Amino acid sequence: MSKGEATRQFIIEKAAPIFNKKGIAATAMSDIMDATKLAKGSLYVHFENKDVLAAEVVDHNLNLGRKKLQAALNIAGTSKEKLFTYIDVVTDILNPPVPGGCPMINFGMEADDTNPEIKQKINQAIESTQQWISDIIKQGIKAGEFRPDWNHKEFATIMFAMVEGGIVIGRVAGNNTKIKAIGKALKQMISSQQLT
Amino acid sequence: MSKGEATRQFIIEKAAPIFNKKGIAATAMSDIMDATKLAKGSLYVHFENKDVLAAEVVDHNLNLGRKKLQAALNIAGTSKEKLFTYIDVVTDILNPPVPGGCPMINFGMEADDTNPEIKQKINQAIESTQQWISDIIKQGIKAGEFRPDWNHKEFATIMFAMVEGGIVIGRVAGNNTKIKAIGKALKQMISSQQLT
Amino acid sequence: MSKGEATRQFIIEKAAPIFNKKGIAATAMSDIMDATKLAKGSLYVHFENKDVLAAEVVDHNLNLGRKKLQAALNIAGTSKEKLFTYIDVVTDILNPPVPGGCPMINFGMEADDTNPEIKQKINQAIESTQQWISDIIKQGIKAGEFRPDWNHKEFATIMFAMVEGGIVIGRVAGNNTKIKAIGKALKQMISSQQLT
Amino acid sequence: MSKGEATRQFIIEKAAPIFNKKGIAATAMSDIMDATKLAKGSLYVHFENKDVLAAEVVDHNLNLGRKKLQAALNIAGTSKEKLFTYIDVVTDILNPPVPGGCPMINFGMEADDTNPEIKQKINQAIESTQQWISDIIKQGIKAGEFRPDWNHKEFATIMFAMVEGGIVIGRVAGNNTKIKAIGKALKQMISSQQLT
DNA sequence: TATGAATGAGCCTTCATTCAT
DNA sequence: TATGAATGAAGGCTCATTCAT
């Protein structure tokens, strides 16, 4: 990795939690200057403008979430364990996988009426997450873990929505009481589809 | 209502959808000037500063949601009908009760890391909404509509989370496909608790 | 004139010589701040952006040239006297009617490859100046002052070109030696068309 | 020519039309980077700063004008033919000998109030051009081509001024209508000084 | 010689807010 | 109450220039 690429990456990493917490509009380039200790002009050496940086930050935060999940999934064997791991990772809002909280809600809600490019990025992430859940269930069905008649597509959407809705509740409340209940309920729904 | 109070109200109404769509940080007082056709100074006659206006707008948008729901509930008789009405109203994201979409997610996600006052307002709204759902179910149980052992507190949280999570999915996707599926699933869950 | 209009006019007047001397690109809004002792934001209360101010300044400088000429023309009786007065006013580059020198050359040469709007303004000024010269001669012919066969349209162009070319020579040299010779030659050309 | 000198020359050639069109102040070093495909630092290897490059570019453009004229003069025999050739070359503003138009007006008008060094360069060019015209006429007189009493010094100034003034008119108008009329008039003036 | 990352002053513009009228 | 001129800090971005590689 060239020095330039390293700096670019460094900036993205430092900027990522700031954008995720404050939002894109409320984050100033000077915030990024402070966080990186770089001069104003340096940021523009690596990013054409704030929008480009913001887009990269969105990608970075989405990827970070995926990585954190992947790491946790390493010790998950069965499909049920994978789904449970997903729930555990994502509902841990007091120590969220992505600093600042789920970037899909954060950036999605800011961008939906104002930033089509980022809206599109988030939409893809939301869809692929549901797809991932659905695929895990499908594998579980194929493996004889889950009932074959489980509507996995529908449940993927329900599970994703419950988790994200729970994150909203929890972050605004500042505690994980409700999100934990939601996680528990989800696990019961999953267990109820188990065979044997 | 004095003339001053009327103007104040007028400003709030015009400002409400703008703040809800663009977010507080991204909304400039000049946006409100344009929308109200009022002069710069006039806004400050009625609101000490932008934060005060924003707080009023948040309240207004929350109240607007409640009013829209109440109006729809007028023709709902049973508890089941009330829950179904809630679902119908709130999941109609292509024609949302509050222009710009659910203010609980919009302002909640912007404020959670930056604005404790508004975070607090949203938290109360979220809790009272869950409480309202829970109360409706309790009434239904008492009326013999629903199974007495239904965990109404938990279901209220699940229902609220599913709806809000569904709104996130739908607004970012720009369509109501998934939120409609979520509404349907919720109605089935409710129906499955019906007696007789 | 409202206070706002007065300030707007004040800004234009202070900005006019600066733009004319330094050029549009090389003039910073901070130069106008210094000259007007106004705060940065005040300039933008009255002018949407620098381009709008620049366009107004161009108009102002063109008008200033016309006014200065008109004032001098008050004591000119015959067509010949009018043409001589024009020559005297315009060739006095050490005390130019418009501070910074002829705005038609200054802005015309800056704008020709970069600013179509201002290029257009200057073009109109150049054409109407030639038209004015031509009209004066026509009046002189009608009044029996000049030979009826004088090609007044062609001479107007020649006269304008000579004067403007002379201004270029003089401003770059920093003296009025050559422009005075040009003025003298022009007066001879005019006198040679006189009857009686 | 060393490699360094070649690069230096290459930069000047690429930069010359840009400075001539946009002006010195409005031309950024990054424009030169784009035009040369060289890295930022490379430009500073060959030119201490922008002013040095600008000065070289001015010289280059002035020389380019001279070369273009010399080339055209190769097929001119008599003094009259030389003067006519000068007129033809310089008034061809739709295909100017120096891309961007006459550098004497372009740089002269930008520099007169702001850049003494370049103002001085242009002044010398203007004076030597008039001197050249004057010398050609003198030669024509000596050769018996022109009337001995022709005031060649004065005519050189008039001719230069008319041409330059005509260029201003033409460039701002975006056509060669008037400059062609000026060229024609100049040729008649010259012809009227011919002997037999 | 050539590169391109880094710098920080400076540019145009926007913003929330104040205040005289 | 309403106006809109005035303010100056702050925002995004560009620029000429430097310097380690």
Å separating the CA of residue B102 from the C1' of nucleotide F1? 34
Q: Which pLDDT does position B7 carry in this prediction?
A: 95
DSSP code per residue over C22-67: H-TTT--HHHHHHHHT--HHHHHHH-SSHHHHHHHHHHHHHHHHHH
Question: Across all residues in chain B, what is the average pLDDT?
Answer: 96
Closest residue (CA) to C1' of nucleotide F2 is: B42
- Chain C residue with CA closest to D160: the answer is C165
In this structure, how many other beta carbons lie within 10 angstroms of the beta carbon of residue D2? Answer: 7
Q: Which residues contact C77 (CB under 8 A, 6 or more apart)?
A: none
Q: Which pLDDT does position B165 carry in this prediction?
A: 98
Residue C171: is it exposed, middle or buried by C-beta count within 10 angstroms (0-12/13-18/19+)?
buried
Query: What's the half-sphere exposure (Cβ side, CA atoms, 13 Å) at B116?
Result: 0
Q: Which pLDDT does position B121 carry in this prediction?
A: 98
Which of A25, A105, A171 is nearest residue B23 as measured by Cβ atoms?
A: A25
Determine contact: C23 vs chain D, CB below 8 A. yes
Per residue in B95-104, pLDDT (tens digit) is 999 999 999 9
Separation of alpha carbons C111 and D171, rounded Å: 10
DSSP code per residue over C135-186: HHHHHHHHTTSB-TT--HHHHHHHHHHHHHHHHHHHHHHTSSHHHHHHHHHH
Å separating the CA of residue B45 from the C1' of nucleotide E18? 11
Asked if residue B132 keeps its beta carbon closer than 7 A to nucleic acid strand E, the reply is no
Per residue in D23-75, pLDDT (tens digit) is 999 999 999 999 999 999 999 999 999 999 999 999 999 999 999 999 999 99
Angle ∠(B177,B182,B186) on CA atoms, nearest 5: 150
Separation of alpha carbons B171 and B93, rounded Å: 7
- pLDDT score of B196 more than 80: no
Separation of alpha carbons D36 and D38, rounded Å: 5
Q: Is the separation of the CB atoms in A179 and A91 below 8 Å?
A: yes
- Chain A residue with CA closest to B114: the answer is A22
Q: Which pLDDT does position D161 carry in this prediction?
A: 98
Residues in chain C: 196
Separation of alpha carbons A132 and A136, rounded Å: 6
Share above pLDDT 70 across residues of chain B, in percent, rounded to a whole number: 99
Question: Across all residues in chain C, what is the average pLDDT?
Answer: 97
Q: Which pLDDT does position D34 carry in this prediction?
A: 96
Residues in chain D where the model's pLDDT stays below 70: 1
Separation of alpha carbons B158 and A127, rounded Å: 21
Q: Which pLDDT does position D66 carry in this prediction?
A: 97
Are the beta carbons of C172 and D100 separated by less than 8 Å? Answer: no
- pLDDT score of B76 more than 90: no
Determine contact: A171 vs chain B, CB below 8 A. yes
- pLDDT score of B3 more than 90: no
Separation of alpha carbons B181 and B189, rounded Å: 12
List, in order of start, the domains of chain A with CATH numbers: 54-191 (1.10.357.10)
Separation of alpha carbons A31 and A53, rounded Å: 13
> Which long-range CB contacts under 8 A does B131-140 form with residues at least 24 apart?
B131/B156, B133/B83, B133/B86, B133/B159, B133/B160, B136/B79, B136/B82, B136/B83, B136/B86, B137/B79, B137/B83, B139/B79, B140/B78, B140/B79, B140/B80
In this structure, how many other beta carbons lie within 10 angstroms of the beta carbon of residue A84? Answer: 17
Query: What's the half-sphere exposure (Cβ side, CA atoms, 13 Å) at D84?
Result: 14
Are the beta carbons of A154 and B185 separated by less than 8 Å? Answer: yes
Asked if residue C28 keeps its beta carbon closer than 7 A to nucleic acid strand F, the reply is no
- pLDDT score of B184 more than 80: yes
Asked if residue D48 keeps its beta carbon closer than 7 A to nucleic acid strand E, the reply is no
Q: Is the separation of the CB atoms in D176 and D170 below 8 Å?
A: yes
In this prediction, residue C196 has a pLDDT band, given cuts at 50, 70 and 90, of confident
Q: Which pLDDT does position A67 carry in this prediction?
A: 98
Question: Across all residues in chain D, what is the average pLDDT?
Answer: 96
Separation of alpha carbons D35 and A145, rounded Å: 65
Per residue in C7-35, pLDDT (tens digit) is 999 999 999 999 999 999 999 999 999 99
Share above pLDDT 70 across residues of chain D, in percent, rounded to a whole number: 99
Per residue in C144-195, pLDDT (tens digit) is 999 999 999 999 999 999 999 999 999 999 999 999 999 999 999 999 999 9
Establish, for the pair of chains C and D, how many residue pairs have beta carbons separated by less than 8 Å: 145
- pLDDT score of B4 more than 90: no
Residue A193: is it exposed, middle or buried by C-beta count within 10 angstroms (0-12/13-18/19+)?
buried
H or E element, residue D33: helix D29-36
Separation of alpha carbons D39 and A4, rounded Å: 14
- Interfacial D residues in 39-78 facing C (CB < 8 Å): none
Which has the closest alpha carbon to C166: D22, D108, D97? Answer: D108
- Disruptive mutation site among C21, C22, C98, C109 for chain D (greatest number of D CBs within 10 Å): C109
Determine contact: C173 vs chain D, CB below 8 A. yes
- Disruptive mutation site among A164, A168, A180, A192 for chain B (greatest number of B CBs within 10 Å): A168
Å separating the CA of residue A46 from the C1' of nucleotide F21? 19
Q: Which chain B residues touch A23 with a CB distance below 8 Å? A: 23, 25, 110, 114
Are the beta carbons of A154 and B112 separated by less than 8 Å? Answer: no
Per residue in B137-173, pLDDT (tens digit) is 999 999 999 999 999 999 999 999 999 999 999 999 9
Residues in chain A where the model's pLDDT stays below 50: none
A103: helix, coil or strand? Answer: helix
Q: Which residues contact A65 (CB under 8 A, 6 or more apart)?
A: A97, A98, A102, A103
Å separating the CA of residue D160 from the C1' of nucleotide F14? 39
In this prediction, residue C69 has a pLDDT band, given cuts at 50, 70 and 90, of very high
A146: helix, coil or strand? Answer: strand
